[in-house]
């Protein structure tokens, strides 16, 4: 059993939370909610949070999957804004945006999120 990992669903996002210092805390969940709002309001409707990793000293690494290549453009500005809202330094938030081809994923709700997670390696394929 993994005690450093938890799954969280917020709206259309189904993400894995990981913390290198133990089980994900309530503070991490609040930070994830801020990150979710930033992604929902500034990226395309196809962008989904896939994984959020909290490393030591509140360094957040956020993996985002999408089928829209233009979502990568706004990632640097979002990193700075999210860090400001959370009271962190800009280099403490890293957004990794990976675009996959729309033909590689099924766009039905639930299936899309799972396929993105499999493509980005955060969830094992269903056997």
Tokens for 81, please give them: 């804004």
Helix axes 75-86, 26-42, angle to 10 degrees: 140
95 DSSP assignment: E
Tokens for 89, please give them: 């330094």
| Mean pLDDT value of segment 2-22 | 83
Count helices and strands (H / E) in the chain.
3, 5
How far apart, in Å, do the first and last CA atoms of the chain sit?
20
pLDDT in tens, 102-122: 777 666 656 777 777 887 777
| CA 84 – CA 47 distance, rounded (Å) | 22
All structural domains of the chain, each given as residue ranges with its CATH number in brackets, are 5-119 (3.30.429)
**Exposure pattern of 74-85 as b/e (b: 16+ CB <10 Å)?**
bbeebbebbbee
| CA 112 – CA 118 distance, rounded (Å) | 10
Confidence of residue 23 (pLDDT cuts 50, 70, 90): confident
Largest pairwise CA distance in the chain: 42
pLDDT in tens, 37-58: 999 999 988 899 999 999 887 8
| CA 60 – CA 62 distance, rounded (Å) | 6
pLDDT in tens, 71-94: 999 999 999 999 999 999 999 999
């Amino acid at each position: 059993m993994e005690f450093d990992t938890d799954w969280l669903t917020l709206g259309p996002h189904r993400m894995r939370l990981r913390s290198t210092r133990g089980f994900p805390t309530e503070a991490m969940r609040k930070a994830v909610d801020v990150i979710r709002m930033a992604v929902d309001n500034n990226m395309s409707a196809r962008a989904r949070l896939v994984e959020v990793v909290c490393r030591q000293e509140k360094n957040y690494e956020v993996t985002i999957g999408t089928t829209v290549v233009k979502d990568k453009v706004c990632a640097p500005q979002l990193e700075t804004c999210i860090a400001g809202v959370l009271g962190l330094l800009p280099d403490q938030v890293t957004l990794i945006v990976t675009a996959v081809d729309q033909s590689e994923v099924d766009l039905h709700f639930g299936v899309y999120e799972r396929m993105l997670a499999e493509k980005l390696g955060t969830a094992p394929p269903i056997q």
